[in-house]
Amino acid sequence: MGDPKYIYDLRQVVYDAQIVLAELVLIAAAQDLDDTTGYAGATEAAGGAWTTGAGGPTGLTALAARIEHPRNVVLTQTVGGATGGYARVCGIGMNGKMVSELFTLGAVTATLTGNVPFLTVDRIAIWGVTGTLTEADHLQAGCGAKIGLPMPEGSVLVDVVKERFNAVDVAVTPANINRTYGTYIPTSTLDGAKVLELWYSIKTPLLW
């Protein structure tokens, strides 16, 4: 069997002026971890969850159902007495299929940056939280800076060729390209008022 053959394609995506800086649009506002029923469950199935449509401390905000543009998720954990735990973010990915990403909670206040670009976030499961929790133990979910670049399932991001912001060419930052997850952190400073345009190349394997 020979080496796989690929079709190479140059694509363009334009994100309108609503695109904002990371974490300015919250998916879930800061909530007390110990207000989540089942937060200390030994398994994900035995844990608790924040879901859309639920009220009180276990509900995602109204923005959860509509991330303006495909982006990664950032969890901000503020620690009082927690020493560990897990959170799994679940939703819809860029190809319209269910995706999830696992985050490991720690014993110190930290920002946990994900890689998977989500179109929607519908559930955040929390379990295995250890330690003696206090009212200072909070968890918050926001949108990250990694912008998802739409492509067919099975395709691979090759390169980001061009970035334009507010109709002006901007130098591409190669280190900000993530080919594994098909994302790019723009060089531009997104401000919610200007249009971001990206040109990028992908390759798709031929299956015949």
Sorted by where each begins, the domain ranges of the chain are 6-17+149-205, 26-145
Reported as a single tens digit per residue, the pLDDT across 62-80 is 444 457 788 999 999 999 9
pLDDT, the chain, mean: 88
* 88 burial type by CB count under 10 A (0-12 exposed, 13-18 middle, 19+ buried): middle
Which of 159, 157, 164, 204 minimizes the C-alpha distance to 187? 164
pLDDT score, position 63 = 47
Please give the biggest Cα pair distance in the chain: 61
pLDDT score, position 94 = 85
Which of 85, 122, 117, 91 minimizes the C-alpha distance to 103? 85
Q: Round to whole Å and give the CA distance between 190 and 160.
A: 17
Reported as a single tens digit per residue, the pLDDT across 149-168 is 999 888 999 999 999 999 99
Which of 40, 10, 63, 2 minimizes the C-alpha distance to 131? 40
| Least confident span in 17-26, 104-113, 140-149, 159-168 | 17-26
pLDDT band at 112 (very low <50, low <70, confident <90, very high): very high
pLDDT score, position 59 = 58
Which CATH class name applies to 26-145?
mainly beta
Average pLDDT over residues 191-197: 90
Residues 6+ apart with CB under 8 A from 27: 60, 61, 63, 64, 67, 73, 121, 124, 141, 142, 143
